[in-house]
């Protein structure tokens, strides 16, 4: 009897838990069908909140596996210079065969930037240790720096003990924390370039070359040259990092971008392949997290919408200038004032809204029609509309504003020379200075004399004239 009562009490206590999980997953997308039990999908501009309610166990502590290296990479970029030489220790290379490696050997000397590619593309644990020892003095010293950085970013559910993510009970994070960290790291251009690289070759100071290939199958088809591949290539993918240990399961932190809209996705604790699985069957389990990521990204691109109205599009033009008669030279133009219908609005996917929010507004989306080119100032002269993919989104009215104004010349610092007539250049030959000649006085002009004039002579002079008169 006591056992029966205890069982009933236990069922009652568990009912609210299951009810809450159902509420969280009522988003239009069935999260239960995913292979991962921890899901978090967010926009890059808001990594602390899931979009469309697409989250499950987002704040539950999970083992991060090699997604740990996101923190290792961004911390190294901030605390070192890309061209710093790092000498590889024996400890960095003392790893079992099951470890993912870059291919380092004791005594190798690589630039820091080369080790970061080895850290993030093939997920080299040897590179992680070499970086940690160089910056933190030891693995433990670097882990302290990792935890301080996590605290500064508000990653309250995270604790690190190593730079690579090999299993440790005290090494954990949450899906939400990983999204916050990744959004921060993606602001760094070098980090973004590294995680989006599919393949590269690095060279040590001693001339050793290593070819590094990205393990992220959203960016590179890793099975193309083996058995029939489970291709996971995704055109919108831009990184970031995979992870895989037996206790952490299949993990993936990914980012995708379409027309300026960027999303972050964290998938943790995915299903492992059974020990008996081999070949194609085993690879199907490895590929599943990438399939799930593509499906979630596509759902977000189509269903994460935003309301756009003419009153919210500050980049829409408010004037339009054109030639009154296209057959006449553009020496003069007509100016029209645009009034948009601010009552119009539409709901579009966020990635498509990026085209509408471009500043200046793209000319190819604007359709002008001047129906009354001689309309008086202030009167309606035509219409304007926004047309994208043969769909008219917004309407506006053209009002006559001003006419026949000459275009303003561009300011220039160069001196302006006006040449009235072009004449051929003729070199001048030396000309002797002219000899001054005595001045000749015309005969009809009276020659003054020193003889005193009698009184009243000015009166008679009025009647004098030249001798020819």
| Residues assigned a catalytic role | 66, 69, 123
DSSP letter string over 266-308?
EEEEEPPPPTT--HHHHHHHHHHHHHHHHHHHHHHHHH-EEEE
Do the beta carbons of residue 400 and residue 334 sit within 8 Å?
Answer: yes
Contacts of 267 (CB under 8 A, 6+ apart): 34, 36, 38, 39, 250, 251, 252, 253, 254, 289, 292, 293
Distance of CA 120 to the CA centre of its chain: 21
Q: Which residues, listed in sequence order, are joined to residue 237 by a DSSP beta bridge?
A: 256
Q: Are the C-beta atoms of residues 352 and 312 closer than 8 Å to each other?
A: no
What does the alpha-carbon distance between residue 35 and residue 296 come to, in Å, rounded to a whole number? 12
- Cα–Cα distance for residue pair 345/352, rounded to 1 Å: 14
- Which phi-psi region, left, alpha or beta, contains residue 378 (left: φ > 0; alpha: ψ -120 to 50)? left
Q: Judging by beta carbons within 10 Å of its beta carbon (0-12, 13-18, 19+), is residue 79 exposed, middle or buried?
A: middle
β strands within 303-355, DSSP E: 305-309, 319-322, 333-340, 345-349
**CA atoms of 241 and 101, how far apart (whole Å):** 15
Number of alpha carbons in the 13 Å side-chain half-sphere of residue 179: 27
In terms of Cβ atoms closer than 10 Å to its own Cβ (0-12, 13-18, 19+), residue 456 is exposed
- Tell me the sheet residues that pair with 313: none
Q: How far apart are CA 140 and CA 91, in angstroms?
A: 13
DSSP state at residue 68: G
Which residues have C-beta within 8 Å of that of residue 467, sequence separation ≥ 6? Answer: 443, 444
Contact (Cβ atoms closer than 8 angstroms) between residue 130 and residue 112:
no
Q: Supply angle C-alpha 403, 404, 408, rounded to 5.
A: 115
Terminal C-alpha separation, the chain:
161
Tokens of 317: 């033009």
Give CA angle at 232 (228, 235), nearest 5°: 135
């Amino acid at each position: 009897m006591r056992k029966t009562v205890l069982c009933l009490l236990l069922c009652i206590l568990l009912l609210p838990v299951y009810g809450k999980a159902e509420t969280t997953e009522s988003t239009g997308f069935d999260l239960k069908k995913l292979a991962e039990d921890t899901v978090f999908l967010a926009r890059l501009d808001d990594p602390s909140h899931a979009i469309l309610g697409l989250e499950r166990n987002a704040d539950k502590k999970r083992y991060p596996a090699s997604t740990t290296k996101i923190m290792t990479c961004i911390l190294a970029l901030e605390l070192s210079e890309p061209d710093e030489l790092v000498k590889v220790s024996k400890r960095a290379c003392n790893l079992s065969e099951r470890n993912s490696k870059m291919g380092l050997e004791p005594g190798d000397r690589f630039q820091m930037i080369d080790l970061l590619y080895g850290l993030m593309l093939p997920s080299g644990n040897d590179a992680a240790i070499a970086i940690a020892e160089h910056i933190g003095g030891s693995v433990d010293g670097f882990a302290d720096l990792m935890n301080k950085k996590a605290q500064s970013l508000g990653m309250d559910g995270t604790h690190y003990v190593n730079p690579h993510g090999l299993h440790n009970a005290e090494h954990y994070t949450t899906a939400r924390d990983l999204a916050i960290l990744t959004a921060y790291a993606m602001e760094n251009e070098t980090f973004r370039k590294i995680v989006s690289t599919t393949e590269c070759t690095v060279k040590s100071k001693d001339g050793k070359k290593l070819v590094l290939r990205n393990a992220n199958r959203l960016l590179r088809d890793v099975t193309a040259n083996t058995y029939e591949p489970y291709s996971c290539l995704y055109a919108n993918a831009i990184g970031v990092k995979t992870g895989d240990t037996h206790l952490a399961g299949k993990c993936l932190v990914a980012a995708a971008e379409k027309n300026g809209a960027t999303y972050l996705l964290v998938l943790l604790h995915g299903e492992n392949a059974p020990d008996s699985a081999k070949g194609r069957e085993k690879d199907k389990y490895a590929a599943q997290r990438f399939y799930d990521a593509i499906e979630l990204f596509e759902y977000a691109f189509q269903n994460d919408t935003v309301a756009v109205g003419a009153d919210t599009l500050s980049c829409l033009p408010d004037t339009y200038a054109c030639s009154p008669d296209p057959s006449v030279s553009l020496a003069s133009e007509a100016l029209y004032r645009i009034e948009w219908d601010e009552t119009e609005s539409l709901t579009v996917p966020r990635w498509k809204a990026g085209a509408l929010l471009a500043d200046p507004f793209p000319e190819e989306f604007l359709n002008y029609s001047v129906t009354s080119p001689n309309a008086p100032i202030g009167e309606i002269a035509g219409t304007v509309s926004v047309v994208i993919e043969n769909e008219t989104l917004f309407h506006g009215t053209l009002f006559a504003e001003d006419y026949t104004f000459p275009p303003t010349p561009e300011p220039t610092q160069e001196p302006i020379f006006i040449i009235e007539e072009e004449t051929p250049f003729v070199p001048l030959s030396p000309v002797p200075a002219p000899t001054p000649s005595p001045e000749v006085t015309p005969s009809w002009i009276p020659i003054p004399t020193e003889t005193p004039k009698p009184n009243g002579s000015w009166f008679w002079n009025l009647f004098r004239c030249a001798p020819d008169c």
